[in-house]
Amino acid sequence: MNEQVRIQLEDVSYTYEEAPSPALSHATAQIREGEFVAVLGHNGSGKSTLAKLLNALYLPSEGRILVCGYDTAKDEFVWEIRRRAGMIFQNPDNQIVATIVKEDVAFGLENLGVPTEEMLPRVESALAAVHMSKFADSAPHMLSGGQKQRVAIAGILAMEPSVLIADEATAMLDPSGRQEVLETVRTLNRQKGITVVWITHFMEEAAQADRILVVSDGQIVSEGTPREIFDDVEKMRDLHLDVPRMTSLAAELRAQGMPLREGILTVEELVEEVRRLCPSKSAI
């Protein structure tokens, strides 16, 4: 494997103060450069704890986390880690600091001590990358949820990170806003090669990732491509996680004796597969 490892979790556990059991226990995983990895789990599974560990907001109780080669437990690397692994949060309102969009995008740069004359071009290109240039002078509270999340992403982008961590960034948005934000992040992943850790409980979003880590009860219970993960319909049900509707429909049909192939995620794929099985009936 010649791709560079961006995030490395080595047997990581984290227990909240006075909590009886760890929120995350013995997690081991690797995320490589340019990957789009979804961390899937329902509420209370420990996925948000994982996000905060990756940004050195929490420090592991046991084990070790390396972000871009820096150990999160070491104080002197905290700012390096946060610059390289930017994070966007669930509530779009609670992460915007300034009263004007472009000033908020510049907030991270101000903190890093970037010279003033370098800021404007970086702010402008970050806003252009998330298609928010025409809102540069707007007040954040006049924007929609999806637009606010895109501003938050621009704020991270301006710092030129190599990893973007999204902690349920779409959970408070309406469907169109959710699509808008996911699309933006996927484009950044493809065009700029930014490694993405997408934490979510939406199956449809996880299905669009390169790889999925499934988290349940503080443990990473399975890992693989979306097809590998969702084909194990039984296991997903045991974990109280849904699989995409077409995958579960295909599994039902297979159980009824229809020899459909594995790994179906979308309507188009199912239609094609059914067509392949019944070539004479073109009316499907």
Partner 1 sequence: MLTNITMGQYYPVDSPIHRLDPRVKLVLTIAFIVAVFLVHTLLGYALILGFVYLVSRLAKIPFKMLIKGIKPLRMILILTFLLNLFFTAGETVLVEFWIIRITREALRQAVFYSLRLIFLVIGTSVLTLTTSPVALSDAIELLLGPLKKIHFPAHELAMMMTIALRFIPTLLDETDKIMKAQMARGADFESGNLISRAKSMVPLLVPLFVSAFRRAGDLAMAMESRCYHGGEGRTRFRVLKVTKNDYLACAAMAGLIALIILEGIFLT
Q: Residues in the site for partner 1, rule: CB under 8 A? A: 52, 55, 57, 79, 82-83, 86-87, 89, 91, 93-100, 102-103, 106-116, 119-120, 123, 139-142, 155-156, 159
Nearer to partner 1 among residue 102 and residue 150 (C-beta): 102
Nearer to partner 1 among residue 96 and residue 129 (C-beta): 96
Kind of pairing between the strands at 62-67 and 70-71 = antiparallel
Nearest to 52 by CA among 67, 33, 30, 70: 67
Nearer to partner 1 among residue 155 and residue 226 (C-beta): 155
Nearer to partner 1 among residue 124 and residue 217 (C-beta): 124
CB of residue 8 to partner 1, shortest distance in Å? 20
CB of residue 56 to partner 1, shortest distance in Å? 9
CB of residue 175 to partner 1, shortest distance in Å? 21
CB of residue 103 to partner 1, shortest distance in Å? 6
Rg of the chain in Å (alpha carbons): 21
CB of residue 48 to partner 1, shortest distance in Å? 11
Nearer to partner 1 among residue 13 and residue 91 (C-beta): 91
